[in-house]
Amino acid sequence: MIGDRALVQIVDAALAEATRKSGAWLVCRPGCSECCMGAFPIGPLDAQRLRLGLRELERDDAPRALRVRQRARDYIARFWSDFPGDPTTGVLEEGEEAEDRFADFADDAACPALDPESGTCDLYAARPMTCRIFGPPMRSGSEAIGVCELCFHGASDEEIAACEVEVDPDNMESALLAELERTTGARGETIVAFALR
């Protein structure tokens, strides 16, 4: 996980820079959990980081960890029959038809890591890359990554672009994913609930 820790540091530094550049345009804050609603795919590196974060939480705050696990179990029970993948393994199906099925999957469900009382993430330090980079304008290569719809109201495209920061300039995540697959066989995307069950 040394490589993943380095990746997290790089991404967090990029996020800090984008946050600095965004200034008052960025309205993200603890308790705002709009981005914690709906399912999104995560890769094996994210899943591994979440499981490690949950083990650390179990060591530090067992009751809180138990609540996270229970929310993950409840989430899976609620969406088991509609899961656009293999609900036994938690791996999402690939291909255009599977992507279409996933587009409407669990849109109204809160992430199991979200504490419904505080509106904050119980696994914040171990959160997936999607969570780390959502909010301010980020870029991956030539691709711009979406900005939170609650932020940048009234900003022009140029003002938003001026705040963009490259998230992983050396494509470290791809190299780490390839290494993880080579060494453990882990591949395919899942969702947070299945990573935590």
Residue 19 above 80 pLDDT? yes
Residue 103 lies in a domain: yes
Region 95-101: mean pLDDT is 92
Residue 145 phi/psi, 5-degree rounding, is: -100, 140
Residue 164 above 70 pLDDT? yes
Least confident of 29-33, 74-78, 168-172: 29-33
Residue 1 above 70 pLDDT? no
Residue 142 phi/psi, 5-degree rounding, is: -90, 0
Residue 83 lies in a domain: yes
Residue 186 lies in a domain: yes
Residue 189 lies in a domain: yes
Distance CA 58, CA 161 (A): 41
Neighbours of 173 (CB within 10 A): 20
Least confident of 59-63, 110-114, 139-143, 188-192: 139-143
Identify the CA nearest to 129 among candidates 189, 182, 79.
189
Residue 183 lies in a domain: yes
Residue 154 lies in a domain: no
Residue 180: domain span = 2-21+35-130+174-196
pLDDT tens per residue across span 46-78: 999 999 999 999 999 999 999 999 999 999 999
Domains identified in the chain, total number: 1
Residue 141 lies in a domain: no
